[in-house]
Structure 1
């Protein structure tokens, strides 16, 4: 998941996100506000009381870390404020057409199968096959259906893929608490 993945999102576009992705961002926000920031603030206060701040490593590092935390809190606040939660498991009339939240299995020209899930820009994880809805791959397959042959303009040339399966299922995200150090 990108630290500032929204910089790749077109200006003015919606911040679509799955329920799991929203919970993860909210978990990180709450962890920063209720745990990380208070702990670092306490260290900075203690270090400030130790005299000369110009050569006080705890103070200097603590202030730097507070700036990083505040920047991330600001970013998360903005992303959560404009988030539009889209539940892939919600009933939809046509479950055969590809849209946000779809999990799609396709094969390339050599017959190699791959599965991807279309998620929000704050949820990208290529190791799990989670691709952004604004990625070239997602744009190429959006509105396609099972059995369609789709042309993909990739950096290494034009490729064709065949859509083998379209599913709408829960997209699992690890909670922030589980992945935070």
Structure 2
């Protein structure tokens, strides 16, 4: 009996090409599991990771029970954030500040005053400044959250929680925060 027959089969049963393909696949799988290479987040130096505080301006938030929403922020201080449509982890909600809804009213002497908006439909529209804290890498190019998401003033952010999902815009980033 020949070791390799005229059709290129080993002992007349298995093709040599099939054995070669199976060997390449086994080597690839072994290479993936035993030599995985670099980490998923390349270039993140752990020594540059600092605590940061970020203030987000939320304008025109429609909420029927705004006080209940503020109470939820106090109760469940964790929120998921999305930066440029990419999930960027969770943050800790530190503070919320309700901003008054005003409208400019001309005065008889020609000046303009900002007075509370009397329109009934505005009662369900709210503005606030939300402050959250997180860990981020501080680089010469700015603040980087989750290894790849750059955070700068003006960056749109989406906050998601148990009962809310709304957008805001970054207005302040503080990197000199004591932990």
TM category (shorter chain) comes to under 0.3
The normalised TM-score by structure 2 is 0.24
Q: Which has the larger radius of gyration?
A: 2
Relative to its length, the structure with more strand (as a share) is: 2
Relative to its length, the structure with more helix (as a share) is: 1
